[in-house]
Structure 1
Amino acid sequence: MADLTSSMARQVLGAAAAGVSDVVRLLPPGATDEVWSRPTPCADWDLRTLLNHLTVEHLWVPRLLAAETLAEVGDDYDGDMLGSDPPAAWEDAITRSLLAWAQVDDETVPIQMSFGPVTRHEYAQQMVVDLVVHGWDLARAAGLPYDPSPAAVQEALDYERPRLEGGQGWPGIFGQALPAPEDSTDLLDEALALTGRDPRWGR
């Protein structure tokens, strides 16, 4: 199998992460419980829960890329990992994650996920989707602007379109795909709709 060390997903991970970080940095300093408890486009998740999810996702990355098993990681990241400074917790997690990705020399190596094995290449693709979509979720919940990397949005679409056409989805993670608004030509709107989101949420 060919080495995929220069895959597009790997190339755009940093840009996708930067879109999220830009939103997190705009959150008001010392944000109150009122801010953190705001609803998000993710059913049953408030703003803090959503940022905690993203942070935990990237705390896992270095250990999975290092071939640790789910059992070895165990419950190390269960519960709230944001502490008293959520933006700092996010920045620490995403920095560690991107450093780990930078050291990957073969994307064909399989890793074990909760739903089964995937290659590092597909793991990177899933991370891009997660960052692009949840960046929008965070921004909408907080009432902040969101300007994702066009290349990251395109990569998310390139991964999601064939999955949906093949009848695959994200059970328990993203909602059922929706049709994109007919009056929109925005690729982000399409990506959001493919993951069960109404791009008009919160407008």
Structure 2
Amino acid sequence: MELIEAHGLAITEFDRRVRRVRPEQWTLGTPCEKWSVRDLVAHLVHEQLWAPELLAGCTVEQVGDRFDGDVLGSDPLHSWVLAAAAAREAWITPKALLRPVHLSYGKTTAVEYGWQMTADLTVHAWDLARAIGADVELNDGLVSAVLEYLEPNASEWRAAGVFGPAVDVPADADPLSRLLGVTGRTP
């Protein structure tokens, strides 16, 4: 699966879950230690707000503290929809994947950044679904693509503190269970 298709599916998967959050669910805990549903959605909104800036060539220093603070305001769903739409537009801009991107740890390719964003959206779609009691099944092709991207580098992500310890799953487990195990989640 190509990156742009995977990214679109990942945004859609997360979007489906955000739209199901009921007012009383924003304070619920999630599989992400120390994050409530609101914290999790704020994390993804924050990432989406950065994407257009970084894909346009801005450095972290140039963006500065523009997106610090409460990015959800009084209407978290509306904040998500606006940020996701702007991010998606930036990703599908012609030649967006050909540009270098400046991240906090240095310069990388837009393709690498795109897979990082896609993986985060995908895994957090499951986290959000689990937290609010929604359908946890994700698009099979998307899961396989993200697993293919993450599996070879999971130890690096784990060392950087992005994932918790891997959770063992059976060798014949389905791709979603394998993805969750690799990212430190219990299927």
Give the TM-score of the pair, scaled to structure 2.
Answer: 0.92
* 2:177 paired with 1:177: no
| 1:9 paired residue among 3, 19, 40 | 3
Greater share of residues in helix:
2
Equivalent residue number for residue 134 of structure 2: 144
Task: Assess if the C-alpha contact under 8 Å between 2:31 and 2:185 holds in 1.
Answer: yes
Task: Assess if the C-alpha contact under 8 Å between 1:112 and 1:118 holds in 2.
Answer: yes
Point out where structure 2 has 5 or more consecutive residues left out of the alignment: none
Equivalent residue number for residue 77 of structure 1: 67
Task: Assess if the C-alpha contact under 8 Å between 2:49 and 2:67 holds in 1.
Answer: yes
- Whole-Å Cα distance in 1 between the matches of residues 145 and 95 of structure 2? 21
SS at match of 1:17: helix
- Whole-Å Cα distance in 1 between the matches of residues 49 and 138 of structure 2? 22
- Whole-Å Cα distance in 2 between the matches of residues 100 and 116 of structure 1? 20
Alignment-mate amino acid for residue 162 of structure 2: I
Q: Show the 5 A alignment for 1:1-203.
A: 8-28=2-22, 31-32=23-24, 35-105=25-95, 107-164=97-154, 167-170=155-158, 171-180=160-169, 182=170, 185-199=173-187
How far off is 1:99 after superposition?
Answer: 0.4
Alignment-mate amino acid for residue 12 of structure 1: A
Alignment-mate amino acid for residue 111 of structure 1: V
- Whole-Å Cα distance in 1 between the matches of residues 28 and 96 of structure 2? 41
Q: 1:57 to 1:116 in 2, by over 3 A?
A: same
Alignment-mate amino acid for residue 127 of structure 2: D
Equivalent pairs: percent with the same residue?
38
- Whole-Å Cα distance in 1 between the matches of residues 92 and 62 of structure 2? 23
- Whole-Å Cα distance in 2 between the matches of residues 140 and 104 of structure 1? 35
Alignment-mate amino acid for residue 165 of structure 2: Q
Number of residues of Structure 1 aligned to a counterpart in Structure 2? 186
SS at match of 1:26: coil
- Whole-Å Cα distance in 2 between the matches of residues 104 and 161 of structure 1? 29
Task: Assess if the C-alpha contact under 8 Å between 1:58 and 1:97 holds in 2.
Answer: yes
Task: Assess if the C-alpha contact under 8 Å between 2:168 and 2:181 holds in 1.
Answer: yes
Task: Assess if the C-alpha contact under 8 Å between 1:23 and 1:139 holds in 2.
Answer: yes
Alignment-mate amino acid for residue 15 of structure 1: L
Structure 1's consecutive aligned runs of 4 or more residues displaced over 6 angstroms after TM superposition are none
Equivalent residue number for residue 4 of structure 1: none
Task: Assess if the C-alpha contact under 8 Å between 1:125 and 1:155 holds in 2.
Answer: no
